[in-house]
């Protein structure tokens, strides 16, 4: 029997990515999109923002809700953009502008000073009030220029550890098997057993 779980995002890229990740490990769960009001993400951590979104979706739909808050954390920038990754170049959420601004800020930084990691924090909120938070970290470094047309956001400049290609050059299947979201979801999988 299939059980529905709502993904608390209006980001079509995240919905597509989650569908693929969940289908590979929990085919009994049907991830459905969220069409309710978007809450104000005023948390200062990935966990706070993920919980804000998951609580809103669970309350609106009456279904268990997953929410991901994620971003890229650059070591030389003290972990920034972090929770501000989607807004790094302003509130327009312009992915190309965000990427270009980050490249510009790091223009004078050479390896090994270009280390970074993608972080994904996933919150699971069940309408009865049960809440869980897990995290997935994908370490790597930043390229000096964008390469590849796959993925989204900062993928064209992120090179995972022990790799020589940006995630923008990977297939969706490669990314979904290794990404920060897939790592977080694997940590969450045991918690989904009770659904």
- Known binding-site residues for Mg(2+) equal 69
Do 72 and 81 touch, CB atoms closer than 8 A? yes
69 labelled catalytic:
yes
Identify the active-site residue in 68, 69, 108, 128.
Answer: 69
Binding residues for substrate: 9-14, 70, 152-155, 175, 180-181
Do 81 and 93 touch, CB atoms closer than 8 A? no
Binding residues: 9-14, 69-70, 152-155, 175, 180-181
DSSP string, 135-150: EEEEEEEE-SS---SS
Provide the 10 A C-beta neighbour count for residue 112.
8
Q: Hunting for tokens 């989204």 — which residue is that?
A: 152
Cα 108 to Cα 91: distance, rounded to the nearest angstrom? 26
Longest dimension (CA), the chain: 55
Q: Residue 70: which of 191, 179, 194 has the closest Cα?
A: 179
Cα 161 to Cα 159: distance, rounded to the nearest angstrom? 7
Do 68 and 135 touch, CB atoms closer than 8 A? no
Catalytic residues: 69
């Amino acid at each position: 029997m299939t059980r529905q779980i709502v993904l608390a995002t209006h980001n079509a890229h995240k919905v597509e990515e989650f569908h693929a990740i969940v289908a590979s490990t929990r085919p009994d769960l049907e991830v459905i999109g969220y069409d309710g009001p978007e809450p104000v993400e005023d948390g200062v951590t990935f966990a706070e923002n993920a919980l804000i979104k998951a609580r809103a979706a669970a309350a609106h739909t009456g279904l268990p809700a997953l929410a991901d808050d994620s971003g890229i954390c650059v070591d030389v920038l003290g972990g920034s953009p972090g929770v501000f990754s989607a807004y790094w170049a302003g509130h327009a959420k312009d992915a190309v502008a965000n990427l270009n601004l980050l490249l510009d800020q790091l223009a004078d930084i050479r390896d090994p000073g270009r280390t970074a990691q993608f972080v994904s924090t996933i919150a699971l909120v069940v309408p009865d009030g049960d809440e869980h938070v897990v995290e997935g970290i994908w370490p790597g470094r930043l390229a000096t220029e964008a390469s590849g047309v796959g993925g989204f956001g900062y993928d064209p400049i992120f090179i995972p550890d022990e790799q020589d290609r940006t995630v923008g050059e990977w297939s969706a299947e490669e990314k979904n098997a290794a990404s920060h979201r897939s790592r977080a979801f694997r940590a969450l999988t045991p918690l989904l057993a009770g659904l």
